[in-house]
Every structure is written in C-alpha cells, then in structure tokens.
Amino acid sequence: MNANERPLDVVILAAGQGTRMKSAVPKVLHPVAGRPMVAWAVKAAQEVGARQVVVVTGHGADQVEAALNGSGVMFARQEKQLGTGHAFLCGLDALTDHQGADVLVLYGDTPLLRLETLRALLDDHRERDSAFTILTGELPDASGYGRIIRDRQGNVERIVEHKDASALERTVREFNSGVYLLDSRATDLAHRITNNNASGEYYLTDLLGLYRAQGSEVHAFKLDDPGEVIGANDRTGLAEAEGIIRQRITTDHMRAGVTIHMPETVYIEDTVTLGRDVTLEPGVILRGQTSLADDVTVGAYAVISDSILEAGAVVKPHSVLEGARVGPGSDVGPFARLRPGTVLGVGVHIGNFVETKNAQLAAGVKAGHLAYLGDVTIGEETNVGAGTIVANYDGVNKHRTAVGAGVFIGSNSTLIAPRTVGDAAFIAAGSAVHDDVPEGAMAVARGKQRTIEGWSRRYWGGLREQVNGKLPWLAAWLGKQGD
Ligand code: UD1
Ligand code: CA
C-alpha cells in the first residue's frame, strides 16, 4: 500500500492524575482557550486525518469520557496507571482494526501542538517510509524529559528517562516530546515492554529498542519550537498555554484583515469567525459559535457568545450578547444585554441598559434606554420608549406579546403579557397596558392625575416643629407662605 493511503489511528494518553493542578477536575479537562486540554488533542488528531481516535482514560475517567461524548472518539480505560507503555496497550485494545495503519501517539495535556507540525511529522514519516518516528525538541535544560541518545553516526539509539539517566546523559539537550508515529508492528511489539527501570513503570519509550532489535531504523523529527509540546502541569502552565493559543488566534485574524486594538487584551476562541475589516476594541471577548460579518465593530469590554452579527453591525462597550443575532447595520449598547433568542433585523437600535430575551425586533425598531423586552415580537419602525417593560411572567408561566409596526410606546409603559398591540397604535407614557390595543388606537392606562392646591403647606405646616430642626430649606419656604 502507498504510504499516503495508509489509514491513521491515534491513541491519546490521558489517564494521568496531574496532582499539581490541585483540583477536583481531572488535569486533561482543564480548559485552555475554551476547550478542555484533551479536546485540543482530539481536534488535532481529527484534523490530521485520523480514521480512529482512542482516548485512554483513568483518573476521572467518567468525567473525561462525558466531556468528550459526541466527539466521535473511542475510549479505553486504564484502571491503574502503570506507565505510558501500559496506557498505550490499553488504547490499542480499543482500536477495532489496526493492521496496516500508521499509529500516532499524543498526550492529553499538550494543547499547543500545531496541526502544521503534525502534518509535517506525518509527511516525514511517510516519505522516509519510517517504522518509528519520534517528535523531539531541544531545550538548553531538558530536565524532567526523556533524553534522545544518538550514536556516533547521529542515529537515534535510545531514549533514557531523566530518572534513569547518568550525569552525562542529563546534559543532552534533545528531548522526547512523547509524540510518536509508528507502523502497525507497534501493536505486537508493545506487548514486549517490561517494567525494569527506576520507577517500575512500563515505558512506552522502550518500544524504540524493540523496533531497533528488529533491524528497523528510528527517526527523530525535530520541532522548531519546543514550546509546542510543553505540557501544562499546573495553573500557571495553563495560563501560559492559553496566552500562546490566544496570541496565535488574534495574530491569524489580524493577518486576515481584522483590526484589533491592544490584541494582548482580546480573547477570541478558535470557533469564532471574523469577516474583513472587523474592528475589535480592547478587552473584547468572543466565545463559542460566534461569527462577525464584514465591517462589524465591537466596543471595549463587550462579551459575545454564540451570536451572529451581520455586516456593519456595531456593538458598543460593555455589552453582553449570548445566543443573539444582530442584523446588518444595527447598533447595540453601550451596556446592553441581548439574551438567547434575540433576533434584531436591519438597522435596529438598542441603547444603554436594554435587556432582550427571546425577542424578535424587525427593521428600524428603536429601544434607546432602560427597557426589558422578553418573549416579544416587535414590528418595523416601532419606537420603544425609555423604561418600557414587557411583563412576560405572571409568576407561574411566561407569555408572549406581539407589537405591530410603527407603534409608539411611551416611556415607562408596562405591557402585561400576553398582549397584542396593532400597527400604528400609540401607548401613552406610564401606561400599564392590560388590554389589547387595536391598530391605530391610542391607549392610556394610568390613574388620572389629581392636582390638590395648597397641599404641601398644609402637610408640612402640621409638622412645623420637626421641620424647623431638620429641614431648614422647608422651614424657610413655610415662613414665606404666611399663615
Ligand atoms: C513521558 C516520556 C518521556 C517524555 C515525556 C514528555 C515515558 C516513559 N516517558 O514522560 O520520555 O520526555 O513524556 O512529556 O513515556 N499516562 C497514562 N497512563 C499512565 C502514565 C501516563 O495515560 O500510566 C499519560 C499521562 O496522562 C500523560 C502522558 O501519558 O498524558 C505522559 O505521562 P507522564 O507521566 O507525564 O510521562 P513523563 O514521565 O512525563
Ligand atoms: Ca509529563
């Protein structure tokens, strides 16, 4: 079979505990840039073209498997963590058919490994028709890592674990990343790994000697940037890894035509898509299935999750959007909150301190200040006055309200759902609307104003003694009124 046609099976080792996280959450589930670490490995495996992916779980296995549920991977349990060699064997058991396949080994705690690196590793392995290719890196001090020991000709001879290494071997700068590409003999050879070493573990690295004993050459593929395989072992490592991924993502967007002010403060998950001439101000956070079309501007410290912003939309500072759709040319904020089910048409204006939920606002609707619009449809060009509340909840159930086009809702009105307001209707300010309003009608629903002349003088006069001591301005005013 042509090397490039060989299927690729991937075993991801993720059974370790990660005590340095000091956490109830398994190490590989700690998120980096919006994804659990192990999910980065799964993503890399799938993107490099894996036929089967098996994740070896142990510590927190139930949680890890639940987190990856639906991602199309298989699981193998490693009940006791007897070493990487043993973990690999557990993984192989789960693969349904591995004859003739290349086998790639990844770790669940190295989220920085780039897809381009994996592709280059795979190409190298296949071009050389290699039996065993190790991904290595070089560090001035590779303490803690297994070292790559080469013979006089420079061929890879063995890997020695730090614990088992001599003083001289510890000066070697080339280290084992733990990523390997193996031919299908690995499945048989791995059974011959023993635990005769400093830690009494089954070392996957022993495979190397087993391959060589069969007369196979082992190749090393050296990383340009050793940082790609540095695992995140504690929370500072997590933050560092996240910083690197975050920077990669913002850099890619800037190269593709997005303006980002103070990019070091902007956080964009890799699931987000951005159009051309999008502008992001400092502190913007974009998460999940969010997509911003061309010419969208997002103001400082806005947080946008799972939302779609169409061309030219503007989100002003400190707004929070979740599960919303904002139509072309609409503007939102500052300090607006759009909750799930919000759909804004073309040129809608949402101002400060407006909250929407499950609200469909047609083209040209304006809600400029201080409103709650929940479970409501609002027709074109309707004006929602400051302080309008759609009272959608009766204490037990939520009800919907439908407002027509060209309606004028006066300030501080309450629409008590379920309610229907016809096109071009007019609601007087301060109304508590508890009946439907037909097309073109005017509704006033508030107490009629009573004005009682001289009321203040009588009221405060009765309290004159107390007013004298406590409220000098009122006392002076009462003095001017005469008795
Ligand atoms: C391993 C390598 C070492 C390499 C280093 C790179 C061996 C013997 N050594 O060492 O040469 O430089 O990785 O980081 O392989 N795991 C299991 N089950 C186990 C043990 C480990 O699933 O029984 C998983 C861990 O969750 C982790 C990965 O395998 O994702 C590596 O295990 P770890 O204990 O960190 O290996 P190292 O001792 O660092
Ligand atoms: Ca390690």
pLDDT digits (tens, 9 = 90+) for 44-65: 999 999 999 999 999 999 999 9
Which residue, judged by its Cα, is nearest atom 17 of ligand 1? 15
How far, in Å, CA of 346 to CA of 331, rounded? 10
Range 21-29 average pLDDT: 94
Q: 360: number of CA atoms within 13 Å, CB side? A: 8
Domains of the chain (ranges; CATH) run 3-229 (3.90.550.10), 257-443 (2.160.10.10), 453-483 (no CATH)
pLDDT band of residue 395 (cuts 50, 70, 90) is very high
Task: Let me know if 173 is exposed, middle or buried by CB neighbors in 10 A (0-12, 13-18, 19+).
Answer: middle
8 Å CB contact between 154 and 77: no
Q: Which of 399-416 are b and which e, b meaning 16 or more Cβ less than 10 Å from the residue's Cβ? A: bebbbbbbbbbbbbbbbb
- Nearest CA to 258 among 221, 286, 223, 227? 286
**16-20, 354-358, 459-463, 471-475: the lowest-pLDDT one:** 16-20
Measured from the Cα of 203, ligand 1's closest atom is 8
How far, in Å, CA of 244 to CA of 57, rounded? 26
Bridge partners (DSSP) listed for residue 150? 156
Which residue, judged by its Cα, is nearest atom 8 of ligand 1? 203
8 Å CB contact between 383 and 376: no
Pocket of ligand 1 (CB under 6 A): 13-16, 56, 58, 78, 81-84, 86-87, 107-109, 145-146, 159, 161, 175-178, 203-205, 231
How far, in Å, CA of 107 to CA of 38, rounded? 8
How far, in Å, CA of 96 to CA of 80, rounded? 23
Residue 190 has pLDDT above 70, yes or no: yes
pLDDT for res 18: 82
How far, in Å, CA of 337 to CA of 315, rounded? 11
How far, in Å, CA of 144 to CA of 122, rounded? 26
8 Å CB contact between 347 and 313: no
pLDDT for res 150: 96
Average pLDDT, the chain: 95
Bridge partners (DSSP) listed for residue 9? 52, 103
- Nearest CA to 144 among 59, 211, 229? 229
Strands 366-378 and 383-384, how do they pair?
A: parallel
Measured from the Cα of 15, ligand 1's closest atom is 22
pLDDT for res 198: 80
Query: At 152, which amino acid appears?
Result: R
8 Å CB contact between 170 and 149: no
- Testing ligand 1's pocket by substitution, the residue of 84, 163, 180, 210 carrying the most ligand atoms inside 8 A of its CB is 84
Residue 483 has pLDDT above 70, yes or no: no
How far, in Å, CA of 477 to CA of 162, rounded? 89
pLDDT for res 1: 63
Residue 146 CA to ligand 1 center (angstroms) comes to: 10
Q: Where are the beta strands (DSSP E) in 161-261?
A: 174-182, 218-222, 259-260
How far, in Å, CA of 111 to CA of 114, rounded? 8
pLDDT in tens, 219-260: 999 999 999 998 888 999 999 999 999 999 999 999 999 999
pLDDT band of residue 451 (cuts 50, 70, 90) is very high
How far, in Å, CA of 315 to CA of 293, rounded? 13
The CA–CA distances, whole Å, from 460 to 66, 164, 390, 455 equal 69, 92, 38, 9
| pTM to 2 decimal places | 0.91
pLDDT for res 471: 93
| DSSP letter string, 42-69 | HHHHHHTT-SEEEEEEBTBHHHHHHHHT
- Per the annotation, the verdict on 369 as an active-site residue is yes
8 Å CB contact between 126 and 118: no
Residue 99 has pLDDT above 90, yes or no: no
Query: What is the DSSP-derived secondary structure letter of residue 398?
Result: B
pLDDT for res 34: 92
Which one of 59, 162, 318, 369 is the catalytic residue? Answer: 369
- First-last CA distance in the chain: 112
Report the percent of the chain where pLDDT is more than 70.
100
pLDDT for res 96: 82
Residue 131 CA to ligand 1 center (angstroms) comes to: 21
